[in-house]
Structure 1
Amino acid sequence: MSVATKPTSNKTVKAQPFLKWAGGKTQLLDELIKRVPAKYNVYFEPFIGGGALYFAIAPEAAVIADINDDLVNAYLVVRDNPDELLEALSKYKNEKDFYYSIRSQDQSRLSKIERAARLLYLNRTCFNGLYRVNKNGQFNVPFANYKNPNFVQTDRILAASEILQNTDVYQAGFEKVLVKAKAGDFIYLDPPYYPKDVYSDFKRYNKEQFHKNDHERLAELYNKLTERGCYVMLSNSDTPFTREHYKEWRVDTVYAKRLINKDASKRGEVTEIIVTNYDY
């Protein structure tokens, strides 16, 4: 488990996600925000993804994490080296041949800033902003040919960097990160969703998949965090499996639009659940 820390900043900044991410929570923000506890100590989000809720509430102290080392590196660079990142991005081009030359790069030969710039660039210029890798961990999404993708994002990156000054960033699994959670802390869990159908594996975040037994481990940890006195909120798909594993807690049904599915007929509005172990 790797971690880096920076001093806190007193500056108040309105920040938004700097990455598009499959499973992002921007469309559910209103539902999530109204469930955030009025008072809490440290905010934890071990499946950070695009960080929509994190940036929306801008916690005074936070711990965020993800198993995806490419994603975690981007957060660290945005926090610690935003100017260098913007300088690197300014040299990129919205051209097909250039895109595939960047996509084919060997990440082991890149600096942390080059690696972060590569991810942000590919994220904004690839098809649908979809992060997907093959079984070898190689990014394999095609060029989208958008007319004017904003892959530099100066204001957004600088604003995100300010919020991240208050945050410890880990590359680790959820169980290791949440060992540190204490009574009074607020934890938001947004794992890769339990599959509703055979197409749900279409979005592959990294080489490791989040399987049924991982969801069962997460449900067990939810109960342990409750016993520890933590405020815990979880998002997941609306299935008999998820409802059964969280039936002891408040389970609310919400509606979201599914934008990514191999079967076009299964895109559209679907039900999801939000689970809380506290009143709001």
Structure 2
Amino acid sequence: MVSQIPKETCPRPFLKWAGGKNRLIPQYLPYLPKNYQSYYEPFLGGGALFFYLQPKKSVLTDINSELITTYCCVRDRVEELISLLQEHKSKHNREYYYSIRGKTVDNELEQAARFIYLNKTCYNGLYRVNSQGKFNVPVGNYKNPNICQEDLLRGASGLLSTSEIKQADFAEVLNNATNSDDFVFFDPPYYPISDTSYFTAYSSYSFSETQQIKLRDTFKELSERGVKVMLSNSDCNFIRTLYSSFNIHTISAARSINSNIQKRGKITEVLVTSY
């Protein structure tokens, strides 16, 4: 059984992440499984639920290679990473942001520092790349962005110390999660509910209807093994139909990112459970 630590004392996500689950966790609590040994999160992103649950054994994966590199550096080389972030912090301005955004970095530690720096200073913490796979989010309008949160990074490093972290497609969880001792949480790019939806602008990896169906099939196979599976997604007919044979719960959320201010505000999402 994994003990749940009061939220206020938990290590928190060190990245800003569009669609992050920090504010929704209180609504998730009634639906979380009470007993499991291993935790899997195949769409890691900001990792809000991982940081809340603090599992002793976890496998954290994502298709985004730069994100995974960043998590590995936070886990394994946090003090060196903090030094690089302090340098970014001391040099930050609009011109510096665009010079770093356009820079190609091969060194993993520098790549992780660049990722966190851009995440903390770009518009709304979005992660978006163009057709060439290059990060293209404009600079945000922040007076004093939290570029180097030393205590937060050190706390995350300690929690991540027992985690396996790797780049992988979500379906690879089938190679590891096998029974009722396993809990898998899927937080995929959401199915778009409008033409301007940002949910699929996650990486150069397209998450189409075909991928959503593959995800449902993965969810179903895990469920048949007895694995405890939970998934979040858009509240729409397509998703509700896909998961109609499972338990579907309605969650109240807030959409804060939309080019049209009139379309920001309360919406609903679904939380699907296999148990």
Normalising by structure 1, report the TM-score.
0.91
Aligned residues: 264
Moved over 3 A (4+): none
After TM superposition, the structure 1 stretch with the greater mean CA deviation from structure 2, 25-34 or 110-119, is 25-34
The match for 1:60 among 45, 50, 56 is 56
| Residue 18 of structure 2 is aligned to residue 22 of structure 1 | yes
Once residues 177 and 221 of structure 1 are traced to their aligned partners in structure 2, the CA distance between those partners, rounded to angstroms, is: 9
The within-5 A match list for 1:139-150 is 139-150=135-146
Per the TM alignment, residue 142 of structure 1 is displaced from its structure 2 partner at its CA by 1.4
| Match in the other structure for 1:78 | 74
| Match in the other structure for 2:232 | 235
| Residue 241 of structure 2 is aligned to residue 226 of structure 1 | no
| Match in the other structure for 1:31 | 27
Q: Percent identity?
A: 45
Local SS of the residue matching 2:270: strand
Per the TM alignment, residue 27 of structure 1 is displaced from its structure 2 partner at its CA by 1.3
Q: CA 1:95–1:72 in structure 2 vs 1: closer, same or farther (change >3 Å)?
A: same
The alignment yields a C-alpha RMSD, in angstroms, of 1.3
After TM superposition, the structure 1 stretch with the greater mean CA deviation from structure 2, 25-34 or 189-198, is 25-34
Per the TM alignment, residue 222 of structure 1 is displaced from its structure 2 partner at its CA by 1.0
Q: Deviations over 1:34-76 (max 9, x none)?
A: 3221110110000010000000010010001100001111000
| Residue 6 of structure 2 is aligned to residue 44 of structure 1 | no
Local SS of the residue matching 2:14: coil
* Structure showing greater relative contact order (alpha-carbon pairs closer than 8 Å, 6 or more residues apart): 1
| Match in the other structure for 1:3 | none
The match for 1:103 among 101, 104, 114 is 101
| Residue 149 of structure 2 is aligned to residue 167 of structure 1 | no
Return 5+ residue gaps in structure 2 as ranges: 1-8
Local SS of the residue matching 1:73: helix
The match for 1:124 among 103, 120, 125 is 120
Q: CA 1:202–1:224 in structure 2 vs 1: closer, same or farther (change >3 Å)?
A: closer
Q: Deviations over 1:197-239 (max 9, x none)?
A: 1111475121111000100011111111011110001101001
| Residue 199 of structure 2 is aligned to residue 199 of structure 1 | no
Q: Is the 8 A contact 2:200 2:206 kept in 1?
A: no
| Match in the other structure for 1:261 | 258
Normalising by structure 2, report the TM-score.
0.93
Q: Is the 8 A contact 1:187 1:230 kept in 2?
A: yes
Local SS of the residue matching 2:87: coil
Once residues 29 and 80 of structure 1 are traced to their aligned partners in structure 2, the CA distance between those partners, rounded to angstroms, is: 28
Local SS of the residue matching 1:251: strand
Letter in structure 1 aligned against 2:135: F
Q: Is the 8 A contact 2:189 2:200 kept in 1?
A: no
Return 5+ residue gaps in structure 1 as ranges: 1-12
The within-5 A match list for 1:1-16 is 14-16=10-12
Q: Is the 8 A contact 1:15 1:163 kept in 2?
A: yes
Once residues 69 and 202 of structure 2 are traced to their aligned partners in structure 1, the CA distance between those partners, rounded to angstroms, is: 15
Q: Is the 8 A contact 1:250 1:275 kept in 2?
A: yes
Once residues 243 and 97 of structure 1 are traced to their aligned partners in structure 2, the CA distance between those partners, rounded to angstroms, is: 46
Once residues 167 and 32 of structure 1 are traced to their aligned partners in structure 2, the CA distance between those partners, rounded to angstroms, is: 23
